[in-house]
Structure formats: C-alpha cells, structure tokens
C-alpha cells in the first residue's frame, strides 16, 4: 500500500514535470487530467489506510471536478485555444526548465524536512514533499509561460499539489470545507476561462506575457 501510494506520488511528480516541459497545450491538459486521477488515487489509498470514507468522497469530488468538469469547460470555452497546434512560448528553454524543476523538487524536500521529523509516517514522507514540490513547480510554470491557458494549468497544478499534501496531513477536515475547496477550483477554471475568452476577443491573442502596457516606464 505504501509502495502504491509512493508510486502515485512519483508519477505525480512526472506529470508536474510534463506540464512544465510540454510544448503543446493539449498535451499539458491531458497530463493535468492524469495528475488529478493520480491525486484521487492517492486519496483513495489513504482513505483505505485510515478507513475514512471522507477521503473517498474527496477522491470522488476530485475526479468529478478536475478530471471531467474542468477539461470539459475548457474545451467548450476555449476550443480554439486548445486545439491550436502552436507551441507554447516560454521564457527559458525546456531543458533548463526541467533542471530548475528538478532543483525545486530537491528544494521542497529540504523545506519540509523539519515537519517530517515530527510526524513520521510513510505516507507523509511521500505526499508532503511532492505536494509542496507541485506547488513550487506550478508557480514556476506560471512565471515561465507566456500564454493564458498554460498559466491556468500552472495555477491548477499548484492547487493539485496543495491538495496532495492536504489529503495526507489533514485527512479529517470537515467535508464541507473539502467540497467547497473543490468547487472553488472549478470556479477558478470558469473565471479564468471566461477571462481568457474576453482577452481573446478584445486583444486578439492570448499571449498574456506580451500584455505589458501597464508597466512603470
């Protein structure tokens, strides 16, 4: 069981790297779906271990919102964006980004070490550092990408990382909080999707990295 959870965590890290290193938006979106499924898998494993139905519900909510609703929403609102076979413009090239992401993984292990010394659990050792790594790498992905949809995927990756850490350290958070947090992610996707659509209509492209007219020059 521990190994399976660790496997889910390792594949989660791989998908996070993939989101940073992918060139196509569709690929990133599919990786995001896989990532959410892995998150749900980890939640199920933890639910089985701690025998809490609560975590199974969380897994179900995750699959519903992140693996179905969000891609569906994005397909419908931004199909032009997603199916465009353009490559994502980045500030740094991909190998450098991948190396920085690997560095961030190592950094997150260091960051959570004082916490791990206290609560020694096999699940904790996997979920917490990988969750924080997802957070950091998602944030990095936002700064490095120049387009709207990849930045949204960066935000959603950050939330996924936070949830991965959360299912392990806070398995008994009241259900309402979890539900609300999950729908909150849905609302984020909705809002950002609509905003991207308005940007596309008004400005003509979603290269948000080039929208720098409000600087202090």
| Footprint of another protein (CB under 8 A) | 3-4, 6-7, 9-11, 13-14, 17, 21, 94-95, 98-99, 101-102, 105-106, 109, 114-115, 118-119, 122, 125-126, 129, 131-132, 135, 138-139, 142, 148, 151, 155, 158-159, 161-162, 165-166, 169-170, 172-174, 176-177, 180-181, 184, 187-188, 191-192, 194-195, 198-199, 202-203, 208, 211-214, 216
Contacts 24+ apart (CB under 8 A), 45-50: 45/1, 45/4, 45/5, 45/8, 45/123, 46/5, 46/123, 46/127, 46/167, 46/168, 46/171, 47/171, 48/1, 49/1, 49/123, 50/171
Between 91 and 177, whose beta carbon lies closer to another protein?
A: 177
Q: Which residues pair with 90 in a beta bridge?
A: 145
Between 29 and 208, whose beta carbon lies closer to another protein?
A: 208
Task: Kindly state the smallest distance separating residue 143's Cβ from another protein, in Å.
Answer: 9
Task: Kindly state the smallest distance separating residue 89's Cβ from another protein, in Å.
Answer: 15
Between 21 and 71, whose beta carbon lies closer to another protein?
A: 21
Q: Is 94 exposed, middle or buried (0-12, 13-18, 19+ CB in 10 A)?
A: middle
Helices in the chain by DSSP H: which ranges?
Answer: 2-21, 25-50, 53-62, 70-83, 94-111, 113-118, 122-144, 148-169, 175-203
Task: Kindly state the smallest distance separating residue 158's Cβ from another protein, in Å.
Answer: 4
Task: Kindly state the smallest distance separating residue 186's Cβ from another protein, in Å.
Answer: 10
């Amino acid at each position: 069981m521990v190994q399976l959870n660790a496997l889910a965590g390792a594949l989660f890290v791989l998908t996070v790297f993939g989101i940073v290193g992918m060139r196509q938006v569709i690929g990133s979106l599919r990786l995001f779906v896989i990532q959410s499924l892995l998150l749900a898998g980890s939640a199920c494993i933890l639910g089985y271990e701690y025998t809490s139905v609560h975590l199974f519900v969380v897994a179900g909510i995750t699959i519903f919102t992140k693996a179905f609703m969000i891609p569906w929403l994005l397909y419908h609102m931004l199909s032009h964006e997603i199916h465009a076979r353009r490559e994502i413009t980045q500030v740094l090239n991909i190998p450098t980004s991948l190396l920085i992401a690997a560095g961030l993984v190592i950094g997150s292990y260091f960051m959570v070490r004082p916490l791990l010394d206290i609560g020694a659990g096999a699940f904790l050792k996997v979920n917490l550092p990988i969750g924080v790594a997802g957070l950091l790498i998602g944030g990095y992905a936002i700064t490095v990408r120049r387009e709207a949809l990849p930045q949204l995927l960066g935000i959603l990756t950050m939330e996924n990382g936070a949830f991965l850490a959360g299912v392990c350290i806070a398995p008994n958070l009241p259900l309402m909080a979890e539900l609300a947090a999950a729908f909150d992610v849905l609302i984020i996707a909705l809002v950002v999707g609509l905003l991207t659509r308005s940007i596309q209509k008004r400005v003509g492209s979603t290269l948000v990295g080039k929208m720098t007219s409000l600087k202090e020059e």
